[in-house]
Amino acid sequence: MGSPPVGSMDMKIQLVVQQIRDEASGIKSFVLTSADGNYLPSVAPGAHMTFTVELPDGSTDERQYSLVSDSSQNDHYTIAVRREDNGRGGSAWFHDHVSTGDILIASGPVNDFPLAHEDVPHSVLIAGGIGITPILSMVRHLVARERSVDVHYASRTEDTMAFQVDLAELVPGHVHLYHTDGNGGKRPDIESIVKHAPDHSHVYVCGPSGMIRDTVQTSRRLGWNESRVHYESFGGHNSEEDQPLTVELARSEMTIMVPAQQTILDAMLDAGVWASYDCKRGECSMCLVPVLDGTPDHRDVCLSDEDQTRYMCPCVSRSKSDRLVIDL
């Protein structure tokens, strides 16, 4: 073996599935090694890889999964995949068709969610659902460097909560678990968490858009410098309940039919509409449009509550009403 190569989105690598484990209800982990026996590209905590997956209609597509393994190890990666029963089929393909010994094609790793500098005195890590994957990798890294950490981790139910044992072993006494389903359901109190974080802490959050928005806006309101707040959203992932919708562009006098599995922004671009955008993840507000009629289903993490009364980000947000009218 030589020294670890550097990952790239342009470079495809082949990975052999060495082990598959049930981590929680609907969540499996996959331990992967290099197919050519070499070291894998170096990773930093928070990195993800993009995998080629097969869809039920025989086509292929790409899915991104964060690496949960120890970032100091270059002999294997571990990813965790939550099965989305009503998704487009990428996660179901992992669950139903991938076996040990199979070869997967991937590119990366790429890191859009890096840790801040090493001498941060305390880190508060907040995860919702499968958002635990990059957070676990960060916890491993910080604990190995004897950094102070608190983890807040929410899932719908206990049986859908992966990696509880790993977290309890890594940071005993510093893991706070929340189960949100049912009458007794409990959510992390973001205001209290941010307010009581030690001075100069950094906060990292990965989970549903509401959790990220809450954390970003709360820390802003409490006077935190934005450089101390880090997040990774699930981007434009469609939800199980998504329905087709109609978007009317008032100024362009156009009506666009948006399929259940396409974003409003992509449907507009496909129709030849000029629309500005950048991240396509609901994080930058570059695609923001005024809403004239209808009820948006906001999934961005960048607009304030007040902004959301007038605007929406069509790269990720959809509609609670069958029809939306936007000022474009």
- Per CB under 6 A, residues contacting ligand FES are 277-280, 282-287, 300, 302, 313, 315
Closest CB to ligand FES among residues 22, 278: 278
Closest CB to ligand FES among residues 234, 277: 277
Closest CB to ligand FES among residues 170, 316: 316
**Rounded distance, CA 303 to CA 285, Å?**
7
Closest CB to ligand FES among residues 152, 280: 280
- The pair of structure tokens assigned to 207 is 């989970």
**Rounded distance, CA 236 to CA 299, Å?**
8
**Rounded distance, CA 287 to CA 325, Å?**
15
- Least separation in angstroms between residue 326's CB and ligand FES is 13
- The pair of structure tokens assigned to 172 is 């005993």
- The pair of structure tokens assigned to 93 is 């393909």
- Least separation in angstroms between residue 268's CB and ligand FES is 12
- The backbone torsions φ and ψ at residue 32, rounded to the nearest 5 degrees and listed phi first, read -125, 140
Closest CB to ligand FES among residues 63, 298: 298
- Least separation in angstroms between residue 266's CB and ligand FES is 11
- Report how far Cα 299 is from the mean position of its chain's Cα atoms: 12
Closest CB to ligand FES among residues 181, 278: 278
Closest CB to ligand FES among residues 192, 261: 261
**Do 317 and 258 meet the contact criterion of CB atoms below 8 Å apart?**
no
- Least separation in angstroms between residue 276's CB and ligand FES is 8
Edge-first strand order for the sheet with 148-155 is 175-179, 148-155, 122-128, 202-207, 229-233
Q: Which residue has the tokens 């270059």?
A: 74
- Least separation in angstroms between residue 284's CB and ligand FES is 3
CA-CA-CA-CA torsion sign (202, 207, 210, 213): positive
- Least separation in angstroms between residue 245's CB and ligand FES is 17
Longest dimension (CA), the chain: 61
Classify strands 229-233 and 148-155 as parallel, antiparallel or unpaired.
unpaired
- The pair of structure tokens assigned to 165 is 């044992």
Closest CB to ligand FES among residues 138, 256: 256
- Least separation in angstroms between residue 298's CB and ligand FES is 11
- Least separation in angstroms between residue 122's CB and ligand FES is 30
**Rounded distance, CA 297 to CA 316, Å?**
9
